[in-house]
Amino acid sequence: MKRITKLSLAAVITLASLSTVANANESLSDAFTNGKVKGEIKALYADSNFLGKAKSDDIAVIGGSLGYTTGSFYGLSAGATFQTSHVLSEDDNNGVFANDLDASGSVLSEVYLEYQLANTNIKAGRQFIYTPLVSTAIDGKSSESLLKDSFEAYMLTNTDIPNTSVSLGYISKYLAKTDGTGDLGESDDISATHDDAYTLLLKNNSIENLTLQAQYLKMNKESSASKDISITYLQTDYTIANQTLSAQYVMSKDDNQAAGKEDGAAFGLKATGPLGISNLGYLVAFNSSTKDGDVNTGIGAGTTDTLFTAMPVNGGGVPTRANTDTLVGAVVLPIAGITTIGYLGHSWSNGGLGDVLATGAVAIYPINKDILLKVNYEHAELEHTILPAGIVEGNTDVTRVYLSYKF
């Protein structure tokens, strides 16, 4: 069903007010005239035989986005992003793409006001957010899709402290990519059991070549039938001789889970950089979850990529399982303008869930500066995977082809 998602009344009134004043104020009119437009036309094909089903699922989708940002008028600016998605063909045997690609319609994913005063920035309204614990789908990661999810939020960022960024956020609504039934998502509570959330993010690079960041997220319960969720995230990145060494730690507490499963925690290590042989590069990452409960990585499609060992296609669902260790290695090989990434990942669990072995490749070819072709393939062998139907075993092969034109 094609439709435009309703805007919040406050956002509509505010933008209408700005338009009215613009007719009478030359400077404000210039802010709109000098605004910037950017967009993308995107086509995507995906095929998956989830857990070795007799029939694969496949889908072809086309759509894109169109965004506009005004110029600044005494520090005040506004922006909006429109997205559209249309399913061209679909063979939906197992519902694999229901929450990802299976959606036809149009939506205003961003409509916000932004104000900059000295070193303080305030952004209010529907917007994309990219932080470890609150994140929109990320291009180039497993969360990438034809559409991006977004949030209705108030974000304040201050950089008065030297080499330090402090961000405070209140997230009131979440707009998912789809509604799971063939239509686009609608702005709603951040989850089925939680109304809204608060977050605090700190970043510091006072020490040369070292970046530190910490984030805290509190998800507020919807009713007395549910309980709050709190998550803490820490990350360090240190660069030496073109090599980047990173460490992360995430700890979640979710009292909605069964007794003994409330606490989840994981630490991770990662090394990336050139190999010193031609233009070869590498990535080695390790995550270990150390508690009896699954690790909650936050809100939004992009948080499936928060852990270092998230797979390029299937994401980081396996590494977030309780008492699970995951090791991933990748080699980057640029040849004749095509960047090819081959990778191998192995996950083993101490909780009786069994091993997961994944292999795959990503090929990225920029046809020109505006057109990009990308092909992802991943083969995963799973044992003792828990689904609503029970414990199952099987292999999964997923292929994704992206073609995009940005302007």
pLDDT single digits (tens) 141-176: 999 999 999 999 999 999 999 999 999 999 999 999
Average pLDDT over residues 340-349: 95
Task: Decide if pLDDT at 281 tops 80.
Answer: yes
pLDDT tens for residues 302-320? 999 999 999 999 999 999 9
CA 399/CA 378 separation, integer angstroms: 7
Higher pLDDT among residues 149 and 53, named by residue:
149
The pLDDT value given to residue 226: 85
Task: Decide if pLDDT at 1 tops 70.
Answer: no
Statement: 9-406 belongs to CATH 2.40.160.10: yes
Report which of 302, 297, 222 is spatially closest to residue 265, judged by C-alpha positions: 297
Average pLDDT over residues 25-46: 87
Higher pLDDT among residues 223 and 326, named by residue:
326
pTM: 0.89
Q: Which of 64-68, 71-75, 238-242, 379-383 has the lowest mean pLDDT?
A: 379-383
Higher pLDDT among residues 49 and 119, named by residue:
119
Average pLDDT over residues 193-204: 96
Domain ranges of the chain: 9-406
The pLDDT value given to residue 383: 74
Average pLDDT over residues 47-68: 90
The pLDDT value given to residue 26: 54
Report which of 243, 255, 251, 282 is spatially closest to residue 268, judged by C-alpha positions: 251
State which amino acid sits at residue 285. A
The pLDDT value given to residue 351: 66
The pLDDT value given to residue 163: 97
Q: Contacts by 41-44 with C-beta closer than 8 Å and gap 24+? A: 41/404, 41/405, 42/146, 42/402, 42/403, 42/404, 42/405, 43/402, 43/403, 43/404, 44/101, 44/145, 44/146, 44/400, 44/401, 44/402, 44/403
8 Å CB contact between 122 and 115: yes
DSSP state letter for 262: S
The pLDDT value given to residue 391: 58
User: What confidence category does residue 272 fall into, taking pLDDT thresholds of 50, 70 and 90?
Assistant: very high
Report which of 380, 375, 373, 372 is spatially closest to residue 396, judged by C-alpha positions: 380
CA 386/CA 249 separation, integer angstroms: 26
Q: Give ∠ CA 353-359-365 in degrees, rounded to 5.
A: 140
Report which of 100, 80, 128, 106 is spatially closest to residue 299, judged by C-alpha positions: 128
Average pLDDT over residues 101-117: 96
| Cβ count near 260 (within 10 Å) | 10
DSSP state letter for 350: S
Residues contacting 46, CB < 8 A, separation 6+: 58, 59, 97, 101, 398, 399, 400, 401
CA 72/CA 79 separation, integer angstroms: 11
Q: Left, alpha or beta for 370 (phi > 0: left; psi -120 to 50: alpha)?
A: alpha
Virtual CA dihedral for 20, 21, 24, 30, nearest 10 degrees?
A: -110
Average pLDDT over residues 271-291: 92
